[in-house]
């Protein structure tokens, strides 16, 4: 099909903006992006040192931000609560409080911006004194089945509070099936499940754990007994297959850019909606390099988002979502 040089000169298709525009295969738009937002009350609200430009929003600020995101064309947010130490416990009971921060934040967003999709994280780490996503057994190991029982209640509580999408990020076995079962039983047929199906035990989550205040609690202990080994790829496909069979509507690969091969394999093998999470470490690396004048922030971000989309991510979680939407808007003017 390809003729030899000079009949075929690939550079002809790159010679000027008009032709590059016409043959471009991938375009990221604000419609692909999800904005993660941290919410906090009282003294916990404010800027996040490890993530320059990100803030723990009060509920009042959350309402304003929700409206701004709708104007920018961002379809959905992902809520992450910052819970005061006094409300944390070893069993994370605050996660089930129907008047807790997440249910109230959902109500605030739905009142301020009814069309904005609300995705909530299902996991216990914001609520536990030990910083793990689940409950510990007598030996200090994360107890899978006991955790699933709590996660199922947490998902139901947040779905009842009006969340459009529940996103279990805990990596327990069997939790998608249990969550789907109780949602159906409760008549919540339309609540979507976005499973963090291939979530790796990654050092790139460092700044996030500072943002939600779980890193001190977690201490030296890691999440390797439930999150995946970064060295594995076939295992990601098995995780995705299980979560889809159990009732997930969409699956996530996390982190983003270092895991493009996983994103591509999942997209090619399953053909379902795939989300990629450009995580806190990816964000902070770009911010830090830009602040030092080492990288062009806008160009690097747009390239990273394009690559995630090209790699197979329909949906991209990025702390840069609002900023990217603004830049994309300028570009098309
Ligand atoms: C917790 C959770 C984490 C992130 C999203 N949900 C951190 C973790 O697993 O320790 C990471 C997000 C990021 O780094 O941006 N269940």
Summarised one tens digit per residue, pLDDT across range 129-187 is 999 999 999 999 999 999 999 999 999 999 999 999 999 999 999 999 999 999 999 99
The residues, any chain, with a CB within 8 Å of residue 168's CB and separated by 6 or more, are: 122, 123, 151, 155, 175, 176, 179, 193, 195, 196
- What pLDDT does 216 receive? 78
- What pLDDT does 1 receive? 67
Three-state SS at 24: coil
CA angle 146, 149, 151 (to 5 degrees): 110
Mean pLDDT over 30-48 rounds to 98
What's phi and psi for 284, nearest 5 deg? -65, -30
Which ligand 1 atom sits nearest the alpha carbon of residue 123? 16
Ligand 1 center to residue 15 CA distance, Å?
43
**Taking 90 as the threshold, does the pLDDT of residue 2 lie above it?**
no
Helix (H) or strand (E) holding 181: helix 175-185
Which ligand 1 atom sits nearest the alpha carbon of residue 278? 15
Ligand 1 center to residue 279 CA distance, Å?
8
CA 217 to chain centre: 22
Mean pLDDT over 71-86 rounds to 98
Distance CA 128, CA 87 (A): 9
- What pLDDT does 219 receive? 80
Distance CA 5, CA 279 (A): 43
Q: Is 205 in the pocket of ligand 1 (CB under 6 A)?
A: yes
- What pLDDT does 44 receive? 97
Catalogue the active-site residues: 199, 254
Task: Identify the residue whose C-alpha is closest to ligand 1 atom 7.
Answer: 205
Domain boundaries, the chain: 28-332
Ligand 1 center to residue 280 CA distance, Å?
8
**Taking 80 as the threshold, does the pLDDT of residue 13 lie above it?**
yes
Distance CA 313, CA 44 (A): 33
- What pLDDT does 292 receive? 98
- What pLDDT does 333 receive? 57
- What pLDDT does 331 receive? 83
CATH superfamily of 28-332: Aldolase class I (3.20.20.70)
- What pLDDT does 94 receive? 98
Distance CA 236, CA 223 (A): 16
Task: Identify the residue whose C-alpha is closest to ligand 1 atom 11.
Answer: 205
Mean pLDDT over 253-272 rounds to 98
Average pLDDT, the chain: 96
Mean pLDDT over 114-139 rounds to 97
Query: Which sign, positive or negative, has the C-alpha torsion 124, 231, 287, 292?
Result: positive
- What pLDDT does 221 receive? 79
Distance CA 5, CA 46 (A): 59
Distance CA 277, CA 263 (A): 10
- What pLDDT does 143 receive? 97
Ligand 1 center to residue 209 CA distance, Å?
7
Has this prediction a pTM greater than 0.85?
A: yes
Q: Is 208 in the pocket of ligand 1 (CB under 6 A)?
A: yes
Single out the residue of 310, 218, 299 nearest to residue 256, CA to CA: 310
Mean pLDDT over 297-305 rounds to 98
* CA end-to-end span of the chain: 38
């Amino acid at each position: 099909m390809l003729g030899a040089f000079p009949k075929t000169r690939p550079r002809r298709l790159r010679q000027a903006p008009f032709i590059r525009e016409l043959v471009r295969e991938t375009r990221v738009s604000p419609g692909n992006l999800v904005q993660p937002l941290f919410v906090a009350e009282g003294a916990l609200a404010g800027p996040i040192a490890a993530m320059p430009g990100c803030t723990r929003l009060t509920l009042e600020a959350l309402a304003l931000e929700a409206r701004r995101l709708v104007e920018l064309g961002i379809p959905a947010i992902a809520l992450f609560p910052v819970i005061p130490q006094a409300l944390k416990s070893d069993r994370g009971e605050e996660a089930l409080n129907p008047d807790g921060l997440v249910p109230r934040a959902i109500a605030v967003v739905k009142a301020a911006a009814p069309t904005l999709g609300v995705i909530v994280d299902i996991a216990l780490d914001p609520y536990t004194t030990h910083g793990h996503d689940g409950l510990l057994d007598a030996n200090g190991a994360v107890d899978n089945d006991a955790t699933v029982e709590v996660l199922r209640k947490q998902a139901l509580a947040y779905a009842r509070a009006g969340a459009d999408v529940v996103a279990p990020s805990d990596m327990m076995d069997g939790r998608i099936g249990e969550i789907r079962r109780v949602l159906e039983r409760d008549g919540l047929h339309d609540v979507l499940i976005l499973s963090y199906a291939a979530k790796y035990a990654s050092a790139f989550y460092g700044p996030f754990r500072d943002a939600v205040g779980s890193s001190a609690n977690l201490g030296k202990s890691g999440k390797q007994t439930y999150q995946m080994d970064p060295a594995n790829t076939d295992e990601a496909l098995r995780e995705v297959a299980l979560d889809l069979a159990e009732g997930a509507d969409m699956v996530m690969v996390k982190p983003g850019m270092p895991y493009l091969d996983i994103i591509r394999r999942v997209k090619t093998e399953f053909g379902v909606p795939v989300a990629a999470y450009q995580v806190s470490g990816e964000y902070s690396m770009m911010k830090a390099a830009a602040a030092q004048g080492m990288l062009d922030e806008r160009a690097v971000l747009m390239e990273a988002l394009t690559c995630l989309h090209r790699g197979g991510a329909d949906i991209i979680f990025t702390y840069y979502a609002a900023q990217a939407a603004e830049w994309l808007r300028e570009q098309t003017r």
